[in-house]
């Protein structure tokens, strides 16, 4: 019994030491994985994903061109925001990429280092460029706020006993790769995706709106977008994959409305620049 308590105490101490304070939110986050490690994995997994899926050429598709345009503007907005906070070094190793993938999935995601994918299946729901910017801004917020790293760290604790990523990759590479993919919304099934916490979702909503506004898109498009998302999820046994980690509850829409005033302070329409 004493040995169990001792091991538990050691584990608790290890987790406390492994926590870091997020430079933007001020929230303490579990961090068993370094930014460099996450970005290295992202480069590899992103390249493999693109090789295994049908990427829509921006030279042949206005939708793909729109995705690149939105991605580029959101990336510039995030970089500007971080520079204004005096922490541009947080994004110094980001090499932004934006791709549209041909798939019926209603989904989008962003890996560490700015590796963005939008699925064609979400475009009938976004309906316009500003709403797409809300989606991309939200997903980029998850990435830059290190939510994926936080979920990956939680997975290492829950599934592999809190071992270091290098040890996990060496001993259980398949499980570790799967954990990474799930952390960023690429699970093979809806139930496999590691859910974001409520705190993470509220953070991504808030800063995603700010990035959308800074990019010159109207953040007010977030409300009708999530209303459409909510309508899609109702009456279905399984909601669209995008909703599996992004709850489309009425309370969320209310929160978005509460956050709107802050976001609008950053809003300068593209046409007026």
Give residue 225's pLDDT: 94
How far apart CA 124 and CA 204 sit, in angstroms, is: 22
Q: Tens digits of per-residue pLDDT, 201-240?
A: 889 999 999 999 999 999 999 999 988 988 886 655 555 5
Confirm if 244 and 195 have CB atoms less than 8 A apart.
Answer: yes
pLDDT in tens, 101-122: 999 999 999 999 999 999 999 9
Who contacts 33 (Cβ-Cβ below 8 Å, separation ≥6)?
Answer: 149, 152, 153, 156, 165
Going across the sheet that includes 55-56, the strands are 55-56, 97-101, 115-119, 108-111
| pLDDT above 90 (res 193) | no
Tokens 């956050």, located at residue: 259
Rounded-to-integer distance, Cα 229 and Cα 53, Å = 25
Phi and psi of 238, rounded to 5°?
-120, 130
| 127-145 average pLDDT score | 97
Residue pair 74/216 in contact (Cβ under 8 Å)? The answer is no
Q: What is the pLDDT of residues 4-24, one digit of tens each?
A: 444 343 344 344 446 789 899
With contact defined as beta carbons under 8 Å apart, do 125 and 98 qualify?
A: no
pTM of the model: 0.81
Rounded average pLDDT over 65-85: 98
Write a three-state SS string for 69-131.
HHHHHHHHHHHHHHHHCCCHHHHCCCCCEEEEECCCCCCEEEECCCEEEEEHHHHHHHCCHHH
Average pLDDT over residues 149-172: 61
Q: Does the structure show a pLDDT above 50 at 31? A: yes
Look at residue 148 in the predicted model and tell me its pLDDT: 80
Q: For residue 195, what pLDDT is reported?
A: 54
**Considering just the CA atoms, what is the radius of gyration of the chain in Å?**
19
Q: What is the pLDDT of residue 120?
A: 97
């Amino acid at each position: 019994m004493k040995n169990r308590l001792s091991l538990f105490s050691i584990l608790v101490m290890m987790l406390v030491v492994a926590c870091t304070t997020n430079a933007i939110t001020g929230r303490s986050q579990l961090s068993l994985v370094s930014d460099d490690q996450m970005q290295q994995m992202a480069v590899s997994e992103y390249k493999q994903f693109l090789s295994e899926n049908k990427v829509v050429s921006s030279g042949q598709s206005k939708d793909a061109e729109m995705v690149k345009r939105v991605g580029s503007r959101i990336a510039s907005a995030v970089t500007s925001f971080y520079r204004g906070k005096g922490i541009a070094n947080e994004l110094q190793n980001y090499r932004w990429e934006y791709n549209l993938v041909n798939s019926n999935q209603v989904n989008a995601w962003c890996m560490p280092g700015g590796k963005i994918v939008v699925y064609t299946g979400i475009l009938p729901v976004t309906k316009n460029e500003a709403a797409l910017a809300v989606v991309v801004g939200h997903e980029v917020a998850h990435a830059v706020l290190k939510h994926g790293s936080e979920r990956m760290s939680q997975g290492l604790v829950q599934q592999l006993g809190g071992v270091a990523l290098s040890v996990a990759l060496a001993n259980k590479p398949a499980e570790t790769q799967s954990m990474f993919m799930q952390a960023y919304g690429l699970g093979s099934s809806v139930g496999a995706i590691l859910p974001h916490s409520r705190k993470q979702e509220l953070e991504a909503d808030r800063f995603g709106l700010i990035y959308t506004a800074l990019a010159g898109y109207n953040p007010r498009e977030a409300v009708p977008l999530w209303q459409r998302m909510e309508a899609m999820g109702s009456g279905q046994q399984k909601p669209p994959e995008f909703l599996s980690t992004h709850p489309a509850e009425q309370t969320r829409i209310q929160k978005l409305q509460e956050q709107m005033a802050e976001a609008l302070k950053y809003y300068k329409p593209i046409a007026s620049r």
